[in-house]
Amino acid sequence: MNEIQNLSRRVFIRNVGLASGGLILGCNYNLLANDIAVGSLTEFNPNLFVQLNSDGSLIIVASRSEMGNGVRTSLTSVVADEMEADWNKVSVKQAVGDAKYGDQNTDGSRSIVGFYETMRKMGAMTRMMLITAAAKKWQVNESECSAQNHFIIHTSGKKIGFGELVDVVTTLPVPANITYKDPKDFKYIGKNLKSIDVKDFANGSAVFGIDKRLPNMKVVAIARCPVAFGTVKSFDKTAAMKIKGVEDVIEFPRIEKPFGPLGGVAVIASNTWAAFKGKAALEIQWNYGKNEGYNSEKYMAELTERVHTAGKVEKETGDVNKAFGEAAKVVESTFQLPHLAHAPMEVPNAVAWVQGDSCEVWVPTQSPQDARDEVAAYLSTTVDKVTVNVTFLGGGFGRKSKPDYIVEAVMVSKTIKAPVQVVWTREDDIKHGYYHTVSAQYMKASLDAQGNVSGWLHRSAFPSIMSTFQPGTDYPAGWEAGSAADVPFEIKNFKVESGQAPAMVRIGWMRSVINILHGFSINVFADELAYAAKQDPLEFRLKLIGSDRIQDTKDSIKYDTARLKNVLKLAAKNANYSKPLPKGHAYGLAVHYSFYSYVASVVEVSMADDKVKVHNVYTVIDCGTAVNKNTITAQLEGAAVFGMSIAYYGKITANDGAIEQNSYSDYRMIRMNEAPKVHVEIVESTDRPTGVGEPGVPVIAPAIINAIFKLTGKRYYNLPLSDYDLV
């Protein structure tokens, strides 16, 4: 044990009664910020519960959503490790949506970041209470007792199981001084743990949203306007009603809120196939609205024109114009990146049953509290009358944190007074989502006679996510601009600007968010500068990052350039970057800081018959303390494929206001025969854990582009590569 912290006893909750013979322990979420709760027990806001039963079984309540991110396993393992619990006796119970659990929004790569310390506190506190209980039962000193693998062991050799101590523990006060394990004694933290849910995934018993069934449940398919924010003018349901299984067709309006349903015509049926067929048979006339003229090609031209004129200054140091005027060489490039869709394997879906002013839903959601709030607002009821049951998610990537599809189910259930399941088709998902933003970027830099970067100008224009929350927002939020303004390069003369960009569709966060576009342009442009300076891209990048320092960012977050350089060096080492590759093969590299983590990738690419193939991806991450290395490795493997999909195929376009793509056939993902070998190294660290799910994405596409340049001498500034018939 190596750490003791005095904690107010009011921080913790101890209770008996949730399970027969069980001890229930809860921890206030505000512990994360050292904000000790005060007041009576009724004022507590418990985040997570530990339930130890008299038979020794241990149940951890998980407040975050499982969507392939491994969060249920990782968070549970932290409690179990500090508690010295037997992993084989641990199970997980999923929390419903409720503010008492703290922030349940599972996005932004924040679950481990936000809950690691809290989970350690709960586990350590429980272990200490069990030691006290055993010492009291044996009438010995606590110093003579220790916890080991679900037992308390006395120095004499006698031991007693955790479950046998529940009756004593329930009579004890909460310890004031919490003692933590020394990290060198961790059994689960920092190891490779398989998912606690893997058996259920393998045998098919895991319940995803789309698996949920209720007695007498109706299935609903909804026709939405092809143009974002359009409305129904009129419709004819005659043909739809002739389809066997179709029971009714109703219209419902758009709710003009950030997460409000788009509205449309709902087909209610006894089964999914009938609902889909009925929707296809509808004859609908639409009011397309103001976005009918949206053409993505024309819009891109407008954005590109804007980034070639002065914009809103986001950050400025020194004098870039002077640097450009005195330069030995000036390099300029323009980047164009299209809209992207999340396209998770499991389409949006929700089961809802409204009964009077109460409602219960079963749903694959990343944000159950947002869902609960939106449902309560629609029903004009209080949140305590809304229950949001969180199922497993078949992928999320940020799409399933927006509860529009959940409110749709509630609207229909309320209207027909029956339980319903709304199921989107793949076409619905592609055509009516919240899209990752489209962007144009202009970059200009100067090199001095020694090949050093003396000036840097970066100008971006892209519709902001804030436009979804505040219609009419035409410029990025501070954190969006920050991913360009906080570039970790030591450049004396530096300027970042933003151009105006009104949103024409719903803009939403997607895995890695704004880092996708800025990580791409910065890494490709830095590589271009290396060649202009006639220097090796690796050495040039290390020199560009500069001295070891703790650097402030636009959002007052500090990062360590030494850690950034380290992951780049390690990725190069793992790839044997300096060694010759087979003819027709080349390496490309990229490095990026996001979600408090440092990530670098070196990719091995070949070109044959003018087609690109990625053979190997060498990724290194420094994410502080690695809670579950198995999960981290899986996340970075997935990020490599996700990033490749963006580079190869990612493109959403609009014509006459309507999204042109339909399914995986024309919005493709990387397939098995295209997937590379992904080699992952996790930097050993005792620093506080940082994000994992997203920071591996931004480095992949630019590394591929940089490798292609090394092979062909041609640099691609616009994605996807499928536009050039390279894949």
Residue 56 CA, chain-centre distance (Å), reads: 35
Q: Are residues 199 and 213 in the same domain?
A: no
Q: Which one of 158, 175, 203 terminates a domain? A: 203
Task: State what percent of residues in the chain have pLDDT above 70.
Answer: 93
Q: Are residues 54 and 72 in the same domain?
A: yes
Task: State what percent of residues in the chain have pLDDT above 90.
Answer: 87
> pLDDT tens across 637-677, in order?
999 999 999 999 999 999 999 999 999 999 999 999 999 99
Residue 195 near residue 62, CB atoms below 8 Å: no
pLDDT at 5 over 90: no
Neighbours of 415 (CB within 10 A): 15
pLDDT at 22 over 70: no
Q: Are residues 322 and 444 in the same domain?
A: yes
Q: Which of 366, 365, 387, 367 is nearest to 376 (CA)?
A: 387
Q: Which amino acid is at 201?
A: F
Q: Are residues 419 and 495 in the same domain?
A: no
> pLDDT tens across 336-383, in order?
999 999 999 999 999 999 999 999 999 999 999 999 999 999 999 999
Average pLDDT over residues 149-174: 93
Q: Is 9 helix (H, G, I), strand (E, B) or coil?
A: helix
Domain span at residue 37 reads: 3-203
| pLDDT score of 548 | 96
Average pLDDT over residues 180-187: 95
Q: Are residues 67 and 95 in the same domain?
A: yes
Report if residue 213 sits inside a domain. yes
Tell me which of 117-121, 247-251, 559-563 is least confident.
117-121
Residue 516 near residue 335, CB atoms below 8 Å: no
> pLDDT tens across 549-559, in order?
997 765 556 78
Residue-wise DSSP of 259-270 = T----EEEEEES
494: domain CATH number is 3.30.365.10
Report if residue 475 sits inside a domain. yes
As a whole number, the mean pLDDT across the chain is 92
Q: Which one of 360, 390, 423 terminates a domain? A: 423
Q: Are residues 278 and 308 in the same domain?
A: no
Q: How many domains does the chain have?
A: 3
Report if residue 85 sits inside a domain. yes
Q: Which one of 159, 177, 203 terminates a domain? A: 203
Measured CA to CA, the distance from residue 468 to residue 9 in angstroms comes to 43
- Residues ≥6 apart with Cβ < 8 Å to 218: 247, 268, 269, 270, 412, 416, 418, 419, 420, 421
Report if residue 428 sits inside a domain. no
Report if residue 699 sits inside a domain. yes
| pLDDT score of 17 | 33
> pLDDT tens across 654-665, in order?
999 999 999 999
List strand residue ranges (DSSP E) for 170-276, in order.
177-180, 218-223, 231-236, 246-252, 264-269
Report if residue 226 sits inside a domain. yes
> pLDDT tens across 218-259, in order?
999 999 999 999 999 999 999 999 999 999 999 999 999 999
Q: Are residues 261 and 305 in the same domain?
A: no
Q: Which amino acid is at 669?
A: M
Q: Are residues 320 and 258 in the same domain?
A: no
Pairing of strands 386-390, 358-363: parallel
The pTM (predicted TM-score) of the whole model is 0.94
Q: Are residues 361 and 505 in the same domain?
A: no
| pLDDT score of 596 | 94
Q: Are residues 321 and 268 in the same domain?
A: no
pLDDT at 426 over 90: yes
Q: Are residues 19 and 59 in the same domain?
A: yes
Q: Are residues 403 and 453 in the same domain?
A: no
| pLDDT score of 38 | 23
Measured CA to CA, the distance from residue 170 to residue 163 in angstroms comes to 12
> Which residue is listed with tokens 């749903």?
363
pLDDT at 490 over 70: yes
Helix ranges, 332-403 (H): 368-379
Report cis status (omega within 30 of 0) of the bond before 261.
no
Report if residue 388 sits inside a domain. yes
Residues belonging to the chain:
727
Is residue 100 very low, low, confident or very high in pLDDT (cuts 50, 70, 90)?
Answer: confident
Is residue 14 very low, low, confident or very high in pLDDT (cuts 50, 70, 90)?
Answer: very low
> pLDDT tens across 48-91, in order?
578 899 999 999 989 999 999 999 999 999 999 999 999 999 99
Report if residue 96 sits inside a domain. yes
At residue 240, φ and ψ (nearest 5 deg) are: -65, -40
